[in-house]
C-alpha cells in the first residue's frame, strides 16, 4: 500500500510542476467526457433503459396500415377499427384504447387549455399508473358508459388547481362538458410517448358512443391502442389476423374506394416510442466516440512527450530495481489523477448541459425528462477514464528500454537522444487527421439536411402574420355568421390589414384526407387545407394558374371548388392544365379545380415536405380559426375584446405568430445543426491542436538542422516548403484513412443498421479541403516560428 501512496504523492508533486501539461490533458478529456456522458445518457434512455411499466417488453401499439393503389403508409388509425381490436378476445389479453383530446378549463379565470388523451380504464392498470390522490378509472367508466371523469397530471393539478388536496370528487367544466376529477397521477409517472414527445396533462374517459360501425370517417394519428397479447400469440399473428378482420369491416362500408385496404401493423411499445430517434442517437454516439478517439490520440501524444521527459527518472527507478509494474504504477498514478479530475469536471459540465439541453432535446428524442447524471452514466464515464489511464500508462511506461537502461542513464537525458520516434509522430498525425476527417464527413451528412431545412423558404409569407383559433364555447349553431363577423371585427382593428378564415393553421400539413377522381377512383391520401377566398393572397402564396375560391359569404352555397398544389397538379395531370378538371374529397361529391397554387415547404417531423396538397373552401363549424396580417404588434387582450364584441361566448383557444410557429417546428433541426456543428468544431480544434503539438515537437527536434539550412543561405520559403512536404505526408494518408473510415461507417450504418444516411456530395467534398487547410496551418505555424527568428538561435538550439 505504501508504494501506491508514495507513487501518488510523487505524481501530485510532478503534475503540479507541469501546469501546462496537466491543464491540457484535463481540459481535453473533460470536454470530451462531458459530451460522451450526455450522449451516453441519451442513448441509454432512448435505446436501452427499460420502460417503467409492467410487462413493458410485451406491450404493443396497435398501429394500422393503409394501402392505396399498392402504396402503403402506416401510423394512421380509425377509431372503430381500434374499437374492434379492443373488443377482441382471441388475440388480445388486455388493451387500452386512446384518443387525443384537449379542451379549455372553462371554470378557471384564464381558461387555460388542457392537453390530454381519452383512455379506457385498462390504461391505468396496464401501465400501473401511480396515483398521488384519488383513484384511476374503474370498469364503470369505460367506453359507452358515457361517464365524464378525469385524472389530472401532477403538474396540471399544481398549475391549475393550486395543488388543492380537496379537488378529488369536484367537478370542472372542460370544453362544453362537466367532468368529475377523480384522481391526480403521481409526479414521477411519465406517460408513454405514443403520440409524440409532448407532455400529457390529463386523462379523460371516453364519453361518446363507439361501435364497430360508428367512427370510420376519420383516419388519424391521434387514435391508437396499447395492448398485451395473449400468451403464445406473436405480434405478427395478432397483427395479421386482426388486420384482416378490420379490413373486412372496412370493405363492408358504403363508398369504399377501389384498390384501398387497411390492415394491422402492431409494433412493440418501445419501438413506437423510439421511432426514428434511435438512428439519430446512434449517429450522435458514433460522433462522440470518434471525438473521444481524437482526444485520446491527442493525449497519447502528450503522454508520450511526458514519457520522454520522464524517461530518465523511469530508467533510474528501473536501475534501482523497480519492476515493470512499479514503473507502470508511476505513470498510472499520473494518468489516473488527471483523468479522474477530468472526469469530475466533465460530469459537472455534462450535468449543467443536461439541464440546459433537456427542454430542447425532447424535440428530438423521447424520455428526455429523465436526462440526468444517473449511476449508469457516471459509472460509464469513470470506466472510460480508468481505461484511458491504463492505456496512457502502458504507452508511457513502454518507453523505458529495460534491456538497455545504460543508454538512457549515461546520456542523462541531454540533447536529442530522448525523443518520440518519427514513425510514432506520423502515426499520431495520420490518426488525428483520419479521425477528424471521418467525423467531418459523417457529421456533414447529418448537418446538411438540417441546414437545408433551416434555410428552405417555406413558400408562404409568415412575416407579420398570426394565427388565432377561436373557442366557440357553448354555441351550437350560427357558426357561419359568427365566423364572418369575427373576420370583419378583426379587420376593424387598426393594426390588422387583412384576415382570412380557416379551420387549422396553414402550417398543419398532417391533416390528410382522401382524394378521388371523378370516377371515385382513389388518388391517394393527401394533406388538406381549408382556406377562404383571400387566404392565398394574405399568405403570399402565388396562384400559378386560375384563381382563388369564389366568395364564401353565402352560407347556403359553398362553392364546389378545389385548389391544388403544383406538385399534385403535375402528378395528376402531367403537362395538361388542371383548371376545370374534376376531383373529389369524398365519393360522389365532385369539385372543380379552379386554381393551382405553388408548393409550400412547411417543416415537420418527416424528412421530406408534403408538397402535394389540396385546398377546400372554408366551411364554418364549431371549430374555426383565422390568419391575419398585421402592421404591428397585436395584443391578445385586444383580440379577445374583438371576439367578445361578436359574441360573449367566444374566447381565444390558441394565438401565435406564424414566425414563432415555424421556429418551433424548426427547433429539432436547429438543435441537430447546433449539436453537429459543436461536434465538428470540437473535433477540428482537438485535431488541429494535436497535429500542431506533434509537429511543433518534431520541428523543435529539427531546429539545429533547419538552422544549418538557413545559415547556408536557404530561403525561408524553401525551408517551409521542405518541412511542409514532409509533414503533409501523414496528413494526406490521414485524409485517405478518414475517407475509408467514413465509408466503412456508411456501410455499417446502411447495411447492418438499416439507417437512412443522406448527404450532398458537394458538401462532402467541401469537408476534405477544410481538413487539409487546418492541417496545413497546424504544420506551418511551428516551422514559421523557427524560420522567422535568427538562424544562430537555431544553431545554438536556443
Partner 1 sequence: MSNNKIKLTNITKKFVTSEMETHALRGVDLEINEGDYVSISGPSGCGKSTLLSILGLLDTASDGEYMLAGHDVSNLSVNQRASMRNEHIGFVFQSFNLIDELSVFDNIALPLRYREKALSQEEVKQKVEACLAKVEMTHRAGHKPNQLSGGQQQRVAIARALVNDPAILLVDEPTGNLDSKNGDAVMMMLAELNRQGTTICMVTHDPRYADMAKRKLHLLDGVMADEFKMELAV
Q: Which residues bind partner 1 (CB under 8 A)?
A: 2-3, 6, 10, 13-14, 17, 312-313, 316-326, 402-406, 409-410, 412
Q: For partner 1, which is the closer residue by CB, 214 or 407?
A: 407
Cβ proximity to partner 1, 6 vs 57, nearer residue = 6
CB of residue 327 vs partner 1: minimum separation in angstroms? 9
Q: Are strands 465-471 and 651-657 parallel, antiparallel or unpaired?
A: antiparallel
Output 398 or 513, the one with its CB closest to partner 1: 398
CA dihedral 459, 463, 464, 466 (to 10 degrees): 40
Backbone angles phi, psi at 752, to 5 degrees: -90, -40
Q: Which residues pair with 204 in a beta bridge?
A: 118, 150
* Spatial distance between the Cα atoms of 594 and 616, rounded to a whole number of angstroms: 11
* Nearer of residues 6 and 790 to partner 1, judged by Cβ: 6
Distance (Å, whole) CA 509 – CA 528: 7
Using the minimum distance from each CB to partner 1, give the nearer residue, 132 or 312: 312
Residue with cell 380537496: 166
Q: Which segments within 402-495 are labelled E, that is strand?
A: 465-471
Min dist. Cβ of residue 310 to partner 1 (A): 10
Q: Which residues pair with 517 in a beta bridge?
A: 583
Residue 1: CB minimum distance to partner 1, A:
9
Closest CA to 299 of 27, 18, 34: 27
Between 258 and 319, CB nearer to partner 1: 319
For residues 719 and 363, what is the distance between their CA atoms, to the nearest angstrom? 54
Q: How many CB atoms lie within 10 A of CB 406?
A: 11
Smallest gap from Cβ 23 to partner 1, in A, equals 19
Taking the C-alpha atoms of residue 27 and residue 338, their distance in angstroms, rounded to an integer, is 10
CB of 453 to partner 1, least distance (A): 57
Identity of the residue, 310 or 367, whose beta carbon is nearer to partner 1 in the bound complex: 310
Compute the least distance from the CB of residue 11 to partner 1, in Å.
10
Cβ proximity to partner 1, 2 vs 463, nearer residue: 2
To the nearest whole angstrom, how small is the minimum distance from the Cβ of residue 422 to partner 1?
A: 17
Alpha-carbon distance of 8 to 330, in angstroms, equals 8
DSSP-assigned letter for residue 208: S
Minimum CB distance to partner 1 smaller for 9 or for 721: 9
CA distance 638 to 493: 8
d(CA 311, CA 308): 5
List, as one string, the DSSP characters of 267-299. EEHHHHHHTTHHHHHHHHHHHHHHHHHHHHHHH
Minimum CB–partner distance for residue 440 and partner 1 (Å): 41
Q: Among residues 320 and 754, whose Cβ is nearest to partner 1?
A: 320
DSSP state of 57: G
- Closest-CA residue to 523 (of 259, 753, 284): 259
User: Smallest distance from the beta carbon of 312 to partner 1, in angstroms?
Assistant: 7
- Dihedral (Cα; 694, 695, 699, 700), 10-degree rounding: -30
Burial of residue 356 (number of CB atoms within 10 Å: 0-12, 13-18, 19+): exposed
Q: How far is the CB of 756 from partner 1 (least distance, A)?
A: 53
Cα angle 715, 716, 722 (rounded to 5 degrees) comes to 95
With beta carbons less than 8 A apart as the criterion, state whether 526 and 513 touch. yes
Interatomic CA distance for residues 624 and 111, integer angstroms: 18
Nearest 5°: phi and psi at 407?
Answer: -65, -45
Q: Return d(Cα 352, Cα 348) in angstroms, integer.
A: 6
Q: Which is nearer to partner 1, 224 or 408 (CB)?
A: 408
- Per the CB < 8 A criterion, the answer to whether 102 and 156 are in contact is no
Q: 548, 663, 558, 563: which is closest to 603 by C-alpha?
A: 663
Contact 230, 93 (CB under 8 A): yes
Measured from the CB atom, the residue of 322 and 658 that comes closer to partner 1 is: 322
| Nearest to partner 1 of 324, 452 (CB atom) | 324
Whether 767 contacts 687, CB under 8 Å: no
Cβ proximity of 50 and 57 under 8 Å: yes
The smaller minimum CB distance to partner 1, of residues 87 and 323, is found at 323
The helix (run of H) or strand (run of E) holding residue 150 is strand 149-152
- CB 6 to partner 1: min, Å: 6
* 337 versus 625: smaller Cβ distance to partner 1: 337
Cβ 318 to partner 1 shortest distance, Å: 6
Instruction: Tell me the closest approach of the beta carbon of residue 730 to partner 1, in angstroms.
Output: 24
CA gyration radius for the chain?
34
Q: Nearest distance from residue 305's CB to partner 1, in Å? A: 17
Q: Which helix (DSSP H) or strand (DSSP E) does residue 526 occupy?
A: strand 522-531
Instruction: Give least dist CB 446 to partner 1, A.
Output: 48
306 contact partners, CB below 8 Å, separation of at least 6: 18, 21, 334, 396
**What is the C-alpha to C-alpha distance for residues 204 and 179, in angstroms, rounded to an integer?**
8
Instruction: Spell out the SS3 assignment of 474-527.
Output: CCCCCHHHHHHHHHHHHHHCCCEEEEEEECCCCCCCCCEEEEEECCCCEEEEEE
- Name the minimum Å distance from CB 798 to partner 1: 22
CA distance 385 to 338: 9
281-314 b/e with 16+ CB inside 10 Å = b?
Answer: bbbbbbbbbbbbbbbbbbbbbbbbbbbbebbbbb
Q: Which residue has the cell 441519451?
A: 42
Q: Nearer to partner 1 by C-beta: 226 or 327? A: 327
17/574 with CB nearer partner 1: 17
Question: Closest CB to partner 1 among 334 and 612?
Answer: 334
Amino acid at each position: 500500500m505504501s508504494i501506491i501512496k508514495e507513487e501518488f504523492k510523487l505524481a501530485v508533486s510532478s503534475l503540479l510542476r507541469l501546469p501546462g501539461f496537466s491543464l491540457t490533458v484535463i481540459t481535453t478529456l473533460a470536454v470530451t467526457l462531458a459530451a460522451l456522458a450526455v450522449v451516453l445518457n441519451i442513448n441509454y434512455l432512448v435505446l436501452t433503459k427499460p420502460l417503467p411499466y409492467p410487462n413493458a417488453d410485451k406491450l404493443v401499439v396497435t398501429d394500422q396500415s393503409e394501402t392505396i393503389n399498392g402504396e402503403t403508409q402506416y401510423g394512421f388509425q380509425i377509431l372503430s377499427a381500434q374499437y374492434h381490436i379492443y373488443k377482441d378476445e382471441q388475440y388480445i389479453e388486455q388493451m387500452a384504447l386512446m384518443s387525443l383530446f384537449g379542451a379549455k378549463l372553462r371554470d378557471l379565470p384564464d381558461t387555460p387549455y388542457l392537453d390530454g388523451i381519452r383512455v379506457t380504464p385498462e390504461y391505468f392498470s396496464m401501465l400501473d399508473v401511480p396515483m398521488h390522490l384519488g383513484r384511476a378509472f374503474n370498469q364503470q367508466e369505460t367506453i359507452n358508459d358515457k361517464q365524464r371523469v378525469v385524472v389530472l397530471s401532477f403538474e396540471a393539478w399544481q398549475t391549475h388547481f393550486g395543488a388543492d388536496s380537496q379537488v378529488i370528487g369536484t367537478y370542472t367544466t372542460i370544453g362544453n362538458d362537466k367532468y368529475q376529477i377523480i384522481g391526480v397521477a403521481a409526479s414521477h409517472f411519465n406517460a408513454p410517448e405514443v403520440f409524440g414527445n409532448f407532455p400529457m396533462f390529463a386523462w379523460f374517459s371516453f364519453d361518446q358512443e363507439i361501435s364497430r360501425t360508428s367512427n370510420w370517417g376519420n383516419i388519424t394519428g391521434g387514435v391508437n391502442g396499447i395492448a398485451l397479447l395473449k400468451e403464445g400469440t406473436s405480434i405478427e399473428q395478432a397483427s395479421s389476423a386482426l388486420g384482416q378482420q378490420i379490413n373486412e369491416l372496412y370493405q363492408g362500408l358504403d363508398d369504399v374506394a377501389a384498390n384501398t385496404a387497411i390492415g394491422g401493423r402492431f409494433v412493440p411499445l418501445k419501438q413506437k416510442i423510439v421511432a426514428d430517434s434511435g438512428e439519430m442517437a446512434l449517429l450522435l454516439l458514433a460522433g462522440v466516440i470518434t471525438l473521444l478517439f481524437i482526444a485520446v490520440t491527442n493525449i497519447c501524444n502528450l503522454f508520450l512527450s511526458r514519457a520522454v521527459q520522464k524517461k530518465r527518472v523511469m530508467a533510474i527507478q528501473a536501475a534501482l530495481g523497480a519492476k515493470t509494474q512499479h514503473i507502470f504504477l508511476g505513470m498510472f498514478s499520473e494518468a489516473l489523477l488527471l483523468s479522474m479530475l477530468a472526469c469530475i469536471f466533465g460530469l459537472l459540465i455534462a450535468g449543467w448541459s443536461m439541464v440546459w439541453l433537456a427542454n430542447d432535446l425532447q424535440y428530438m428524442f423521447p424520455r428526455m425528462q429523465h436526462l440526468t447524471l444517473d449511476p449508469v452514466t457516471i459509472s460509464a464515464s469513470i470506466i472510460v477514464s480508468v481505461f484511458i489511464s491504463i492505456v496512457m500508462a502502458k504507452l508511457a511506461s513502454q518507453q523505458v528500454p529495460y534491456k538497455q537502461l545504460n543508454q538512457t542513464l549515461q546520456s542523462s537525458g541531454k540533447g536529442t537522444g530522448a525523443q518520440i520516434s518519427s514513425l510514432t509522430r506520423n502515426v499520431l498525425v495520420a490518426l488525428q487527421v483520419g479521425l477528424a476527417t471521418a467525423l467531418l464527413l459523417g457529421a456533414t451528412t447529418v448537418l446538411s439536411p438540417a441546414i437545408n431545412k433551416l434555410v428552405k423558404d417555406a413558400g408562404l409569407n409568415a412575416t407579420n402574420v398570426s394565427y388565432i383559433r377561436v373557442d366557440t364555447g357553448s354555441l351550437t349553431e350560427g357558426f357561419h355568421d359568427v365566423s364572418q363577423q369575427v373576420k370583419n371585427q378583426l379587420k376593424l382593428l387598426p393594426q390588422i390589414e387583412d384576415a382570412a378564415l380557416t379551420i387549422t393553421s396553414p402550417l398543419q400539413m398532417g391533416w390528410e384526407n382522401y382524394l378521388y377522381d371523378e370516377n371515385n377512383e382513389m388518388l391517394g391520401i393527401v394533406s388538406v387545407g381549408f382556406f377562404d377566398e383571400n387566404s392565398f393572397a394574405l399568405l403570399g402564396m402565388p396562384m400559378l394558374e386560375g384563381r382563388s375560391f369564389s366568395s364564401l359569404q353565402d352560407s347556403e352555397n359553398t362553392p364546389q371548388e378545389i385548389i391544388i398544389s403544383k406538385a399534385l397538379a403535375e402528378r395528376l395531370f402531367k403537362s395538361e392544365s388542371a383548371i376545370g378538371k374534376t376531383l373529389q374529397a369524398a365519393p360522389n361529391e365532385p369539385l372543380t379545380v379552379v386554381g393551382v397554387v405553388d408548393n409550400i415547404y412547411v417543416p415537420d417531423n418527416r424528412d421530406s415536405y408534403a408538397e402535394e396538397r389540396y385546398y377546400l373552401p372554408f366551411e364554418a363549424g364549431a371549430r374555426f380559426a383565422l390568419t391575419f396580417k398585421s402592421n404591428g404588434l397585436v395584443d391578445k387582450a385586444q383580440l379577445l375584446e374583438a371576439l367578445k364584441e361578436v359574441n360573449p361566448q367566444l374566447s381565444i383557444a390558441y394565438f401565435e405568430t406564424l414566425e414563432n410557429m415555424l421556429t418551433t417546428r424548426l427547433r429539432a433541426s436547429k438543435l441537430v445543426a447546433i449539436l453537429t456543428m459543436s461536434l465538428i468544431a470540437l473535433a477540428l480544434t482537438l485535431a488541429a491542436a494535436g497535429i500542431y503539438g506533434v509537429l511543433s515537437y518534431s520541428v523543435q527536434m529539427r531546429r539545429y538542422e533547419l538552422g544549418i539550412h538557413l545559415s547556408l543561405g536557404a530561403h525561408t520559403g524553401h525551408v517551409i516548403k521542405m518541412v511542409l512536404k514532409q509533414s503533409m505526408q501523414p496528413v494526406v494518408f490521414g485524409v485517405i484513412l478518414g475517407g475509408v473510415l467514413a465509408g466503412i461507417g456508411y456501410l455499417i450504418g446502411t447495411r447492418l443498421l438499416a439507417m437512412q444516411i443522406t448527404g450532398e456530395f458537394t458538401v462532402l467534398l467541401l469537408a476534405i479541403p477544410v481538413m487539409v487547410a487546418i492541417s496545413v496551418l497546424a504544420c506551418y505555424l511551428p516551422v514559421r516560428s523557427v524560420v522567422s527568428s535568427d538562424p544562430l538561435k537555431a544553431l545554438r538550439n536556443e
